[in-house]
A and B are shown apart, each in its own frame.
Chain A
């Protein structure tokens, strides 16, 4: 069985300050982990993914995430927030190969203040 927990439903930051969105996972096997972003009335867009290569993963728009097996975490970070980063962010876990049935977290709404 697999599950994912996004620890914050809302995160509020000021423009230019760091962003941290937290995600913990549970998986019986080595997982693949993803972060997706969803802007209002838009489809889900892949930010980055971890698939058992380097533990520090760099994605689009300056985001990165670090896979920490000992902490079962895959937190998303960005050094400096932009207004355009305001959106809903989803952490996703899956066991790779075969049927690949992904499990989504509940989402974290990122609010960026000017």
Chain B
């Protein structure tokens, strides 16, 4: 079975620029997560989708971050405008709605904001 796909793997931008990340979850997985992992820290949940609806986005900085999951499959996470402190790895994970709570993670996108 194919895993969670993410692109790009690496991105370098200037502060105040915009950036978008893409995630394709495991086929049939209804739940999708976006995490931010700053160097030396554990992943922090940004947003959780169930199909194409938002379950939790309490830690998403909504003034600059946005995410969508059209048709309940692929998802995009956007940052506009980026700040220096947004430098991190952005992880996408998916989970089967009927599964025993195991999340499957993609390889992540490493963002550097200069």
Contact = CB atoms under 8 A, between A and B. Distances in A.
B102 A46 contact: yes
B30 to A, nearest CB: 11
Question: Which size bracket describes the interface of A in this complex?
Answer: 20 to 34
Given A43-B107, A104-B43, A99 B101 contact: no
Which of the four size classes fits the interface of chain B?
Answer: 20 to 34
A56 B45 CA distance: 28
A16 B55 CA distance: 45
Interface string A37-55: 0000011111001010000
Contacts of B45: 101-102
Interface of B: 4, 31, 40-45, 48, 50, 55-56, 91, 93, 95, 100-108
25 contacts: A32-B101, A34-B101, A34-B102, A43-B107, A43-B108, A46-B102, A46-B103, A49-B100, A49-B101, A49-B102, A90-B42, A94-B101, A96-B101, A99-B55, A99-B56, A100-B31, A100-B101, A101-B45, A101-B48, A101-B56, A104-B43, A104-B44, A105-B42, A106-B41, A106-B42
